[in-house]
Structure 1
Amino acid sequence: MTNSDPRPWGADAPSGLFERFLERACTSDSKVWARLASWFATDAVDVERLGFRARLHPKDNLSEKRVLYTPGRFDPAELAYLSSMIDDGFTFIDLGANCGGYTLHLAAKAPESARLFAIEAQPEMARRFAFNLASNHFAAVVQLDELAISDERGDIIFTINHRNRGESGLAGEGETITVPALPLADYLAERSIERLDAMKIDVEGLEHRILAPFFQNAPRTRWPRCLIVEQLLATPATDPVALAVAAGYRIERDLGRNVILTLGPAGHE
């Protein structure tokens, strides 16, 4: 998709007291300063964070708020692990890409041979991602796809949470829209992805709906070597970490909320 915002990056640069408090929040990685800065925040803020330029909207999206005020707290272990995997031909899928925190951070480090795929079903968040992508000049190829990944192909209902757009998804309460959907295996085939080094998946508790049929039907050679998911201990029957471990992944790092898993050799589940 194309960037629909006519104002270039930099038009919404922070200023005045907001700029001063924002700088303190970032340099000290302090939630207290972040809270003070938020009192003066505008709807959109143009900054450089995590190695890339972005226009961030902190008032309706927790992820953008975290990247803006305390980028040092934005999944540092996960980003460091993924960054350590970057090499020639590095291939990454960001499923539930949001504003681009993961994808654009990696794209800023990746070589020209790398391929990064960002999947975002929510039109407004896809628009924001597209703006952020267009505001940078990466060597790597970054593909943004405005669609959902699910267990079946066709149009499905997507619910938008206007209070925190990061909590939008295939289930919930709020405004509903219809979006196109593909199974993960079909997406890999359509994008000619033969090797998948890593995938981050964040689809608000419905990861099992995507991963269960994928593990059952897709060739193991297509599975991501590294998988980052949020564990759902309260609902063990649909916990994607337990599902991945049962399929042959091993837990590399348990970070509390998120878990980094790596794929073991075939026959060693």
Structure 2
Amino acid sequence: MGNARDACGPAARLASARGMSDHQPYGTYAPAGLVAAIARRTLRFSPDSWRGRRMAMFLRRLAITLMRGKPLDVERLGARMRLHPYNNNCEKKVLFTPQFFDPQERALLKARLEPGCTFLDIGANIGAYALFVAAFAGPRARILAVEPQPDIFDRLTYNIAQNPFHTVKAVACAVADKAGELTLFVDPRNRGESSLKIVGTNESAQIKVPAVTLMDLVRTEGLTRIDAIKLDVEGAEDLILEPFLREAPPALLPKLLVIEDGVDQWQIDLPKLLEGHGYRETGRTRLNRMFERVAANPA
């Protein structure tokens, strides 16, 4: 497929016009000095140690201060990335403590996904999940990384281009329950919490983005099977999955779902809906729930 970027309409122009990433060659911002020493040290802390986590957070804050607004070019989760750890918790975690970044979820994906799999990363942010899967899924894999925020999308495409996987396609749009132009509420403190719903975000920070339904995305990309979906859309997971589950043929239903736990924002009982389509919950973390499809027609 090749490293690619695509759009669900006019967002392609927005992505380039508003892109904020520095496109200097990879390696321009290699870690050096005390920042490099801190980055090496934080990688060694255990996610199971309370003291280790506290120390890692302290050292991370120190390093971010020393970085003075610049990014770092590093290899994390099996992929090269340029990371900007300032207004995005995802980038902070992946840069300094990737071992803290959804370890249970990533272990499940690695255990279940086979070479040549099809994986959808919806709410891809800067591509941590998509690139993690690409690093082990082989050259026949097909991976879609969907991200609506133009400047974050720019970072995503930069990260994809630094790697030799040639299996990740970036798509610049939102996924929702209806197609069209929708309002995205942008959280300036943590870009990973931007949402099509008002969920603790700054209501004054709004941008218009194109949106498609999950079914339309699948049809447009010509997918005939989906092995796994990671869905992180800040409380709109139910709005996306309900129409897809209703419309999709059984052969298109993904075997594995990693869903951000938005139970306080969901308008329907999403776990019950998934159970009705043959899924059972096989894991839960502080942030996410994991569901695996075990039967086409549940008892």
Q: CA separation in 1, counterparts of 2:60 and 2:239?
A: 39
Give the secondary-structure state (helix, strand or coil) at the position aligned to 1:40. Answer: helix
| Aligned: 1:179 with 2:202 | no
Q: In 1, are the aligned partners of 2:276 and 2:298 still within 8 Å (CA)? A: no
Matched residue SS, 2:242 = helix
Worse-superposed segment, 199-208 or 18-27: 18-27
Distance 1:86 1:38 in 2: 35
TM-score scaled by length of structure 2: 0.84
Distance 1:100-1:236 versus aligned 2 partners, 3 A rule: closer
- Equivalent in 255, 258, 262 of residue 292 of structure 2: 262
**Where does 1:114-129 land on structure 2 (aligned, <5 Å)?**
114-129=141-156
CA distance, structure 2, for counterparts of residue 181 and residue 75 of structure 1: 27
What residue in structure 1 maps to residue 173 of structure 2?
Answer: 147
1:156 alignment partner, SS class? strand
CA distance in 1 between counterparts of 2:92 and 2:128 reads 11
- Structure 2 distance, partners of 1:148, 1:230, is 16
Cα displacement (A) at 1:109: 1.0
Q: Deviations over 1:76-96 (max 9, x none)?
A: 111111112332430000000
Amino acid in structure 1 at the alignment position of 2:39: L
Mapped contact 2:38–2:60 kept (Cα < 8 A): yes
CA shift, 1:248, in A, is 2.4
CA distance in 2, matches of 1:40, 1:23: 11
Matched, 1:163 2:186: no
CA distance in 1, matches of 2:238, 2:94: 27
Contact 1:232–1:238 (8 Å) recurs in 2:
no
The residue number in structure 2 matching 1:25 is 42
The CA distance in 1 between the partners of 2:97 and 2:194, in whole Å, is 22
Show the counterpart of 1:250: 280
2:63 corresponds to: 40
Q: CA deviation at 1:162?
A: 1.2
What SS does the aligned partner of 1:224 have?
A: coil
How many angstroms does 1:19 deviate by? 1.6
Match of 1:133 among 132, 157, 160: 160
CA RMSD of aligned residues (A): 1.9
Deviates more, 1:147-156 or 1:169-178: 169-178
1:111 aligns with 2:128: no
Identity rate, percent: 38
Kept in 2: contact 1:230–1:240 (CA 8 A): no
Matched, 1:75 2:102: yes
Alignment match of 1:198 (pick from 221, 228, 248): 228
Distance (Å, rounded) in 1 between the aligned partners of 2:277 and 2:147: 26
Deviation at 1:181, TM superposition (A): 0.8
In 2 relative to 1, CA 235–149 (structure 1 residues): closer, same or farther, beyond 3 Å?
closer
Unaligned residue ranges in structure 1 (runs of 5+): none
1:88-142 Cα deviation digits (max 9, x unpaired) = 430000000011111101111111111001000111111111111111111x511
| TM-score (norm: length of structure 1) | 0.93
Contact 1:18 1:37 in 2 (8 A): no
Distance 1:111 1:177, change over 3 A: same
Q: Number of residue pairs matched? A: 268
User: Which residue of the partner structure matches residue 9 of structure 1?
Assistant: 26
Deviation at 1:234, TM superposition (A): 3.5
Counterpart among 83, 88, 113 of residue 61 in structure 1? 88
Q: What are the Cα deviations for residues 188-231 of structure 1, in whole angstroms up to 9, with x where unaligned? A: 01001111000000000011111111111221211111011122
> 3-state DSSP class of the match of 1:38?
helix
Q: Give the direction of change, closer, same or farther, for the CA distance of 1:5–1:253 in structure 2 (3 Å limit).
A: same
Gaps of 5+ in 2: 6-15, 47-51
